[in-house]
Amino acid sequence: MDVRFKRDGAALIAMIEGEIDHHSSRILKERIDSKFIMEPVKDMIMDLSRVTFMDSAGIGLIMGRMKKVSSVGGKMSIRNPRPEIMKMLKMSNIESLIKLDA
Amino acid sequence: MQPVNRMKTEFLSKSANESFARVVAASFVAQADPSIDILADIRTAVSEAVTNSVIHGYEEKEGVITMECILYQDHVEIIIEDFGKGIPDIEQARTPLFTTRPDLERSGMGFTVMETFMDSLEVESTPGKGTKIRMTKQLVSR
């Protein structure tokens, strides 16, 4: 598991790589939150194109970041999820809350 | 029904073993040559069950989790057991979005995921003794 960052205007792009479960989400959460505070951004784009596995801990991770981003008036979106994690995203109904660019 | 194959493994309730358990379960079931989607569903359900034992069963303290996979001609049965604190109210625990640990950003979707991704789910739990999860999945051959 790894996460790399890019900035696009007012948006922080977090490119997550590997597997998101309870174990890895704790580290991801810390790294994403500290970067979000450090950078002059208010929006967040989570790029999931390199995520090969995600269980419900990933839903917790996304919802938690969405709350943080909303609290500073920013927008959160998800980009490029692979088909294997779409089932999890769909069942969590996350699409009704967060913009999803497939 | 006669099992085709069976395995049982035991590991510590460390969060690093969440990925170990799902990889082992998927490798074992792979011998039945199920579809990629079925294997992905099994990996996800195993991950949820083991995570529940780590976080709730043992409250992130050290304990033992066992996982048994029994392969039949057309389905697999997976039994994941811990000897931790147990679930006082199983119906409540199975309610979508219910979580006792919002502080950990738990979504409360664990049991819902297991129910959705597998064909059956049984939960047996005794407070103070532990929790046993029994799940089955049809393995439709290609």
Measure CB to CB from residue B105 to each of A53, A61, A87 and give the nearest one: A61
Contacts of B41 in chain A (CB under 8 A): 87
Active site residues of B: 48, 52, 106
Sign of CA dihedral A35, A38, A44, A45: negative
pTM of the model: 0.95
Minimum Cα–Cα distance from B53: chain A residue:
A22
What is the CATH code of the structural domain delimited by A2-101?
Answer: 3.30.750.24
The complex's ipTM? 0.92
First CA to last CA distance, chain A: 21
Look at B1 and A3; give whichever has higher pLDDT. Answer: A3
CATH of the domain at B43: 3.30.565.10
Contacts of B16 in chain A (CB under 8 A): 23
Residue A60: the pLDDT is: 94
- Cα B119 to Cα B82: distance, rounded to the nearest angstrom: 22
Tens digits of residue pLDDT in A38-86:
999 999 999 999 999 999 999 999 999 999 999 999 999 999 999 889 9
Question: In which domain, by residue range, is B116 found?
Answer: 5-138
The DSSP element (H or E) to which A49 belongs, if any, is: strand A43-54
Under an 8 A CB cutoff, do A88 and B113 touch?
yes
- Cα A33 to Cα A23: distance, rounded to the nearest angstrom: 17
Look at A97 and A41; give whichever has higher pLDDT. Answer: A41
Contacts of B106 in chain A (CB under 8 A): 56-57, 60
Shortest Cα distance, chain B CAs vs residue A29, angstroms: 10
